[in-house]
Amino acid sequence: MAKLTTNRHSLRTRIGGLFFVLPSIITVLIFVYGMIIWSINVSLTDQNSGRKKEINYVGLKNYTDLISDDRFTHALGNLVKFTIVFILGTLVTGFIMALLLEKGIKGEGFFRSFYLYPMAISFIAMGTVFNWLLNSARDGEAGGINLALQKIGLGFLQNDWYVSERGAMYAMALPAIWQMSGYVLALFLAGFRGIPDDMREAARVDGASESQIYRYVLFPQLTPTLLTVLIILGHISMKVFDLIIGINGKSYVTQVVAVYMWESTFDARNYAKGTAIAIVLLVLIAIVVVPYLRYNNKQQAYR
């Protein structure tokens, strides 16, 4: 159908379409792809703040330096810890929310609206609250979350939160889970409701129990949704920046790749190193996102 109509276009109109998007194409070409290449170019030099100094190409030195840079590997390790806890936590929380809501329940709209509001607020703003509530003082001096845990008889869960090296990144994942669970809820809720009711009914008529219906009929239908959720959470997680800065600034314990990039660029004024870190981040994200885009592109072609 779509094919037929395109064939009917005259050459002029097809070029007409191109004509109108050309400004955007050029803009994206320059400001996305061109600037990535420019960044790669900077990352191969020894450029830092002083403009007068002549700039030399040093090959991959900035990248190999990163491998032996303890601060970078520390930041990367932190990012991995954060990503694992954030993805698992958000996935499980969001999925449970969707399970609780998917059958339809009185007051669903009320719960749903509240579950989604964190997505509308910036992390810099929420950082104030989390920075304060996740205070590390315990027992007698405790306040915030630690005090609340004591009050409800879960005092043993009291924690240093983002202060000590051991659990800092896991503590950082909590606010991120708080913010993103609603997103996962929305995607899974749409997934559940995209499954025709007949499938449930048919399984019920065949004598399947409720749990069997979920296990064998509904869950397998949600695999594409799961893939989407993983990709979206994965790329958000790898870019995490505002959240960390908002809660704990540039502190070493909670430094991740994006924060270290900022520090190297703005505090150390080492542009070459900063771009090298940024390109590493880009590659990590591309590994996750590019296959997804290709898969998506193929699906679009069938539509």
Partner 1 sequence: MSKDLVDLITTKHDVRNKKRKLNGKERFWLIFRYVSLTFIWFLIVMPIYVMVINSLKGVKNVYLINAFKLPERLDFSAWSVAWSGTDYFPQSISESMTRTLIFVIQSSIISAVIGSINGYVFAKWKFKGSNLIFTLFLFGMFIPYQAIMIPLVRVATEVGINKSIYVLVFAHVIYGIPICTLIFRNYYEAIPNELIEAGRVDKASMIRIYRSIILPLSIPAFVVVLIWQFTSAWNDFLFAIFLTGGSPKLSVATTALNFITGSSNQVYYGVNMTASLIVSLPTLIVYIFLGRYFLRGLLSGSLKG
Identify any residues that bridge with 45 across adjacent strands, giving them in sequence order: 57
- Minimum separation from the CB atom of position 3 to partner 1 (A): 10
Among 31, 56, 57, 268, binds partner 1 (CB under 8 A): 31
Among 61, 235, 251, 252, binds partner 1 (CB under 8 A): 235
Taking each helix axis from N to C terminus, what angle separates 70-101 and 223-238, rounded to the nearest 10 degrees?
140
Closer CB to partner 1, 14 or 166, in the complex: 14
Closer CB to partner 1, 28 or 154, in the complex: 28
- Minimum separation from the CB atom of position 201 to partner 1 (A): 9
Encoded tokens for 80? 């991995």
CA-CA distance, 272 to 43, in Å (whole number)? 4
If one asks whether residue 208 binds partner 1 (CB under 8 A), the answer comes out as no
Contacts with partner 1 by CB under 8 A: the residue count is 118
Closer CB to partner 1, 72 or 262, in the complex: 262
Q: Give the torsion through C-alpha atoms of 117, 123, 125, 129, to 10 deg.
A: 90
Q: Sign of dihedral through CA atoms 122, 127, 128, 132?
A: positive
Helix, strand, coil percent content, the chain, rounded in steps of 5: 75, 0, 20
CA-CA distance, 149 to 88, in Å (whole number)? 23
Among 7, 10, 68, 211, binds partner 1 (CB under 8 A): 10
Among 42, 76, 169, 222, binds partner 1 (CB under 8 A): 42
Encoded tokens for 179? 């913010």
Buried b or exposed e, range 138-165, using 16+ CB within 10 angstroms: beeebebbbbebbeeeeeeebbbbbbee
CA-CA distance, 62 to 251, in Å (whole number)? 23
Closer CB to partner 1, 65 or 242, in the complex: 242
Contact 230, 87 (CB under 8 A): yes
- Minimum separation from the CB atom of position 167 to partner 1 (A): 19
- Which residue's entry shows tokens 């030099």? 45
- Minimum separation from the CB atom of position 126 to partner 1 (A): 6
- Which residue's entry shows tokens 């399984």? 203
Interacting residues with partner 1 between 47 and 76 (CB under 8 A): none
Residue 45's SS3 state is strand
Q: Which stretch binds partner 1 (CB under 8 A): 2-10, 59-67, 69-77, 162-170?
A: 2-10
- Minimum separation from the CB atom of position 19 to partner 1 (A): 8
Encoded tokens for 300? 């679009």
Closer CB to partner 1, 20 or 156, in the complex: 20
Closer CB to partner 1, 144 or 167, in the complex: 144
Interacting residues with partner 1 between 102 and 161 (CB under 8 A): 102-105, 107, 109, 111-133, 135, 137, 142-144, 147-148
Interacting residues with partner 1 between 246 and 285 (CB under 8 A): 246, 249, 258, 261-262, 265-266, 271, 274-275, 277-279, 281-282, 285
Interacting residues with partner 1 between 170 and 199 (CB under 8 A): 175, 178, 181-183, 186-187, 189-190, 193-194, 197
